[in-house]
Amino acid sequence: MKSQRWQLSKSNSYSSSMLHYRNPWIVIWWSLALPGFGHFIVQSYLFGFILMSFEYLTNTMANLNLSIYYSMLGEFDKAREVLDGCILVYITVYIYAVWDSYQRCVSLNKTYQLAYRQKENIKPMHVSTFEINPLGKKKPLLSLIWAFLMPVTPFIYSQRLPAVVFGFFWWSIILYFSSLLDGVIYTFIGDFQQAKAVLDPQWLLYIPSILGFCMFNSYQYTVENNKLFELAQSRFFKENYQEGCLNDLYKYKQGAN
Amino acid sequence: MHIVASFEYSTTLELALNKLEENGIKKGDIVVIPLDKREEESMVLDTLHHSDGKSLIDIAAILGTIFMLLGTIYGFILEWGPIIWGLIGLLAGALLGFFIDFFYTRKRNKMGKVTKEKTSEVIMTIKCHNNERKVIESILWEHNALGVGRVGEKT
């Protein structure tokens, strides 16, 4: 068999990547929400991890979230006071991340069309001594719900080990410094004042983006995973189970003519 | 005679084929026809104005995040605190986004059809003798066939 010029998907036992159509505007939006998310959607995981780490570090050093928080409460003097000078380097990388994820998305969409038309066979299973990764149907709604309960778990569901390692690392740091879980406990026993006192806005403001993104991405990924499974199976049937002949089905009517 | 069955795409379907072949049905007597969905074609051709079921969550996720952010911030000065207002924001934003997407997508999609979850996606036909019918049909039903039919039972 001649070698394939373009590839629709590439998997190994612990991670998978696949091409599918992605809306560039959605990629831009998620890059704006948190630099690195856009790269994560277009499956440039390593660049995504680097940009996300950069975001968490410089945003925290510059107190950007805190400054946003004061600005929105109308306390502009405080907002000016807490903001550090290293916001300048943040701005450059922020804009670059948006542009870069956009152009990656557009070029991937073109590549996707070429790869789709090439009709290669998709290998549905990958095994190593550490992991097994069979291509199979997964439930999008289930991974959405798990993402809400614990943002990293859907990456286990969809067999993306690098994202799991990276996600657990930062998610535990953010959980710790934001005191989110203490806040949840105080909120649920009705002690709202205490909840406000323990929660740290600088770290807490990361969480809506992370939660929203993980829910979106895990849902979308599961849907696309299912589409890829169907495509692979469809191609398998067309190649292997269409040698038979259906003419017998029609012979009575032909005889009657 | 021929037995015809319809399935969804699944790993179970391939198990059914293995089981049939184990029971002595020859590969040449089985024809499997995967039905292409209309959206798959248009997905490749019409990339700029693409819309399918999954886009229902695009705006929901965006508005959910924005509203959750706002809820978290103003929760610090509102009665119930950031956690509850954050969750209220998430729910309100996601619902709003879902409805916007739902009506907007519906408007754009002239057919107005929302793909149902359970649809026949694969048709399988098996050429066999009458005495094999029971075994084959039970294998098909055991492997989640959506429907099973017969043609030309007399022969």
Q: Among B41, B42, B54, B56, pick the best mutation site for testing chain A contact (most A Cβ within 10 A).
A: B54
Q: Is residue A203 less than 8 Å (CB to CB) from chain B?
A: no
Q: What is the sign of the dihedral through the CA atoms of A230, A235, A239 and A242?
A: positive
pTM for the predicted model, two decimal places: 0.83
User: pLDDT per residue over A206-230, tens digit each?
Assistant: 999 999 999 999 999 998 999 899 8
Q: Is residue B149 less than 8 Å (CB to CB) from chain A?
A: no
Q: Is residue A250 less than 8 Å (CB to CB) from chain B?
A: no
- Among B76, B90, B152, the residue with its CB nearest the CB of A201 is B76
User: What is the rounded distance in angstroms from the CA atom of residue B145 to the CA atom of residue B118?
Assistant: 12
pLDDT bucket at B46, cuts 50 / 70 / 90: very low
Domain boundaries in chain A?
Answer: 9-243
Q: Among A230, A238, A250, A251, pick the best mutation site for testing chain B contact (most B Cβ within 10 A).
A: A230
User: How confident is the model at residue B62, as a pLDDT?
Assistant: 85
| Amino acid in the structure at residue A161 | L
Interface list for B 8-37 with A (CB within 8 A): 9-11, 13-14, 17, 27-34, 36
pLDDT bucket at A183, cuts 50 / 70 / 90: very high
pLDDT bucket at B50, cuts 50 / 70 / 90: very low
Q: Is residue B90 less than 8 Å (CB to CB) from chain A?
A: yes
* % of chain A residues with pLDDT over 70: 95
Q: Does the model's ipTM exceed the 0.85 cut?
A: no
Q: Provide the 3-class DSSP secondary structure of residue B124.
A: strand
- Which residue is listed with tokens 């005679």? B1
Q: Is residue B95 less than 8 Å (CB to CB) from chain A?
A: no
Q: CB-based contacts of A198: which residues, under 8 Å, 6+ apart?
A: A179, A182, A183, A186
Q: List, in order of start, the domains of chain B with CATH numbers.
A: 1-35+120-155 (3.30.70.260), 56-118 (no CATH)
Q: Is residue B50 less than 8 Å (CB to CB) from chain A?
A: yes
- Among A26, A69, A137, the residue with its CB nearest the CB of B73 is A69
User: What is the rounded distance in angstroms from the CA atom of residue B120 to the CA atom of residue B49?
Assistant: 27
User: pLDDT per residue over A47-87, tens digit each?
Assistant: 999 999 999 999 999 999 999 999 889 888 888 889 888 88
